Amino acid sequence: MAVSGFEGFEKRLELHFFGDDNDPAVTTMGLRLLDFESLENVLRVVQCTVVSAVGNHFFDAYVLSESSLFVYPTKIIIKTCGTTQLLKSIRPLIHLAKNLGLTICGCRYTRGTFIFPKSQPFPHINFKQEVIYIEENLPNNLCFRKASVMPSKNPSYSWHVFSSSSDNGAHFSDGEFTVEVCMTELDRVLARKFFKTGGDSAAKEMTELTGIGNINPRALICDFVFDPCGYSMNGVNGDRYSTIHVTPEDGFSYASFEYVGSVYDDQDDIVETLKKAVQVFKPATVSVSTTSHRREVWTRVAHAMEPLGLKCRSFAMDEFPTAGTVVFQTFTAARRK
């Protein structure tokens, strides 16, 4: 393991808001009415920028210099890697939403265990400090709060979760689920495919060459290649998103895959989507966090990993205010020769 390098493990922040249901501007556009300059100012505080963007009837998706941003009418998700200061976005986002007539009603923060924790700036020095900072910046109406470190047999793969909400938990959809996949020690041959070799069409070529375009063929993909290496993409499919971020350098190689689905979908789709995503990288270690109100989701994760030669090494489950059940599982492959 490298002494120091780029931090691939992302921090993820999800904020939910509510407004006047009788106001069509709130129900149809809401946070999407925020002008680009306002979003840029928030991202500047976090220490990242927009490099590519796409939108549809339901939401806007931005590829950032450090991961992704998704803006829905009453929900915003920011995912950043490296040494970004993600939690510093909470206060300005709440302020901007308030100017639109929206009030925060839910907050969820998740992350894995940093590869280079000593490189992280305030307030990301440790999880205790992160929780203190979040709570200091949330209004009192988010009175149902819980923080938890979900363990695994390997302390390098713990999952950190903070969730809070107001009395009204309706902002979290009962049938919706989120899957967050973190992969380390990527196959070296496959990781080399994420080093830039082409020109303006390098991102599109990388998406096709690596098989990422086949993970969800129905999705509109917005991709970006970094110089000299690294890759990010957002997939837009109706009102759902998926996202992939890759740090391919040997010694601290890392890739993440996240997507949103519904328990009412074909359950085999969950298995096939996960299998396709993991096969792109063939990692030695995979950790998977699922957030849902239904058990069908996390039971399918093992079904996806086992045919790839990945064995479940640890399993942890916890309940969070209105967010539902979070299940954290880790898988490892047979030692590479």
**Which residues are marked as active site?**
67, 81, 232, 245
Q: What is the four-CA torsion angle of 83, 86, 88, 90, rounded to 10 degrees?
A: 180
Q: How many residues does the chain have?
A: 337
Provide the annotated binding site. 6, 66, 226, 249
> How far is the C-alpha of 62 from the C-alpha of 70, rounded, in Å?
6
Q: Is the dihedral of CA 247, 244, 145, 83 positive or negative?
A: positive
Cβ atoms of residues 181 and 257 within 8 Å = yes
Name residue, tokens 């400090």: 129
Cβ atoms of residues 16 and 260 within 8 Å = no
> How far is the C-alpha of 301 from the C-alpha of 310, rounded, in Å?
11
Name the β-bridge partners of 106: 16, 165
Provide the annotated binding site for substrate. 6, 66, 226, 249
Cβ atoms of residues 33 and 100 within 8 Å = yes
Backbone angles phi, psi at 58, to 5 degrees: -100, -35
Of 169, 176, 179, nearest in space to 264 by CA: 176
Of 81, 19, 94, nearest in space to 47 by CA: 81
> What is the identity of the amino acid at 173?
S
